[in-house]
Structure 1
Amino acid sequence: MKKLFTLSSLILLCASCAVIRPGEVGIKQTLGKFSSDVKTQGTVFYNPITSKVVKESTQTKNIRLVLSLPSKEGLSVNSEISILHRLDGSKIASVLQNLGPNYENVITSVFRSAASDVCAQFFAKDMHSGMRAKIESEILDKMKINLEKQAEGIELIAVLMKRIQLPRGLASSVERKLQAEQDAMRMEFVLKQEKLEAQRKIINAKGERDAQIIISEGLTDGIIRIKAIEAFKSLSNSPNAKIIITDGKTPLMVNEDTKTSSKKETKKEKTKNK
């Protein structure tokens, strides 16, 4: 009898307590009325006949939706959406009283309304471009306003448009436009490269011309004879056999104009002698 009483007491004790784990909050509901005391972690004792403990997670949750969104030009854009949200543990009573335990259905309905209003102000191509972040931000702001009118305690973290599927014809047009823009950018790069190469050649040609002018201005007859003597000495030091032909006046380099003029003078002298 004593063992039976002990067993009954243990069963009654287990039935009259609830364990609140990390990431959860619990609130006691007695005869349909929620208590103002919110429990975070640990064990909560209650009367199982008149009361119960409602537990809700305060961790971040993800609502995934796949739906069709309207665009400004009247097209339908298929999109995969993620709505990140979590509960404020201190205001769980407001959420349960006003929205009930299935509050995520309310979040989904609010999102559908806000997304339709916001996306109808943008073109379909904007949802597939850098405007996506702006669209997400405006949907989130509109959702917060609508939810605050109904209950407090739901914290909306982000609205993410993870996959956008444009209508087939529009997708092809966008791809052709992007391809044309890439071709134009590539052609512009090629033209700039060609202009730079042309400028390089012009600068190089001017440098060679200026160098030739400086060299020609500095080459006097005396310098030419000195260079010729130096070249002759270098050749004479070489161990290889060699034959050097000169006109008898210059050791190595012969000026054709000088040879021609000297030949003419020799002919004139011969004519005079005759």
Structure 2
Amino acid sequence: MDLKKLFDKYPLFVFGFGAFLLGAITDSGFFIFLGIILLFSASAQYKKKGGEDSKSPFDIKKIINIFNNNSKKEHMETINPRNKAKIGFWVVIAIVFLIFLSFASAFWVVIDAGETGVRSFFGKVRDSEFHSGFHLKNPLEKITKMNIRTQEYTMSVTQGEGQRYGSDVITALTKEGLSVDLDITVLYRLIEEKASDVYRDVGLGYDEVIIRPQIRSVIREVIAQYDAKDIYSEKRQEAAQIIADRLKEKLDPRGIEVEDVLLRHVELPADLAQSIQLKLQAEQEAQRYDFLLQTEQKEAERKVIEAEGQRDAQQIINQSLTSHYLNYLYIQNLQDREGTIYVPTSPSTGVPLFRGL
């Protein structure tokens, strides 16, 4: 392959293709863009020539002929030495510009929201971190970005639900020695002010090195203090809170803040789970009967109080119904009637008679 001849005739094409290839290999959008610009520039330059030279250097047949050295007669004129000098000048400028950009990007770093930048210089981790935003830095300094958002660590019997593939359930022994399986999710976040310490002492995989072992240890300690039926029913939330408190005590000094612990599922042996369910149903039924008895008792007490009230009211009424009071009521009622009213009176006293009215 006559590479020298190819470079002499199409220098921009060679540099453009090289930049494009370098960008594709290094996954650099800048080099890919630069390569495209150089390739189009080469195409535009060679189209200005007349005759056979008006053909673009992207003519596949010509490129194949040059590489195979099979062309016996050249169909293109060599580039003018003056044009060669200009092309070489701009190529040098482009290379210098690329080198400048490569070095210039080493003087700054951008930390995204929810991240912190851990600084290290020749392997030594610095104590201060870069917070989110734009920062100038030593070009020889390495910046490692770490997530400080709320994250979760799940250990579950369901495949693909937790951090590990397959079943990752926690098995623990209860107070009476029964084996129970638990699904748990721990919400945590990296404390930004201690990110450098975590990176120095543990590295980026602190969730597997620190969090996971502590979760397993603390859960087994707490579950051992409860009976199976308590964990299965009413004391699950209490146990989850104790687990969260103990994890905070152990992980906060290591630079990890525990926000919450969710004890999502407790799986007991099948026969034990059934017996607990039956017992819970019996307890609920007993509580229902107790409630009914209390309701009936309250109703009986209400009726007694109501009867006593009626009796007392009648006694008061009987004591207050004197003859004078009855005469007064009789006369008052007569005032509300229209027309002539005949009232029987006593022959001896002349007082109206109420009997038979």
TM-score, normalized by length of structure 2? 0.56
Shift of 1:56: 0.6
Q: How does 1:1-274 map to 2 (within 5 A)?
A: 1-14=92-105, 17-41=108-132, 42-47=134-139, 51-66=141-156, 67-70=169-172, 71-106=174-209, 107-144=211-248, 146-147=250-251, 152-217=254-319, 237=339, 253-254=355-356
- Whether contact under 8 Å (1:136, 1:161) holds in the other structure is yes
Closer, same or farther: CA 252–231 of 1 in aligned 2, 3 Å: farther
Unaligned regions of 5+ residues in structure 2, if any?
1-91, 157-168
In the alignment, residue 101 of structure 1 is paired with which amino acid?
L
Closer, same or farther: CA 216–161 of 1 in aligned 2, 3 Å: closer
- Whether contact under 8 Å (2:251, 2:257) holds in the other structure is no
Closer, same or farther: CA 37–202 of 1 in aligned 2, 3 Å: closer
- Highest RCO, 1 vs 2 (Cα 8 Å, sep ≥ 6): 1
Q: Which has the higher strand share?
A: 1
In the alignment, residue 54 of structure 1 is paired with which amino acid?
T
Q: Between Structure 1 and Structure 2, how many residues are aligned?
A: 246
Unaligned regions of 5+ residues in structure 1, if any?
256-274
Q: In the alignment, what sits opposite 1:272? A: none
- Whether contact under 8 Å (1:232, 1:252) holds in the other structure is no
Closer, same or farther: CA 44–59 of 1 in aligned 2, 3 Å: farther
Q: Distance in 2 between matches of 1:230 and 1:140?
A: 81
Matched residue of 1:105: which SS?
helix
Shift of 1:26: 1.2
Q: Distance in 1 between matches of 2:274 and 2:321?
A: 70
Q: Distance in 2 between matches of 1:7 and 1:218?
A: 117
Q: Distance in 1 between matches of 2:264 and 2:241?
A: 14
TM-score, normalized by length of structure 1? 0.70
Q: Distance in 2 between matches of 1:34 and 1:232?
A: 111
Closer, same or farther: CA 238–98 of 1 in aligned 2, 3 Å: farther
Q: Distance in 1 between matches of 2:239 and 2:320?
A: 74
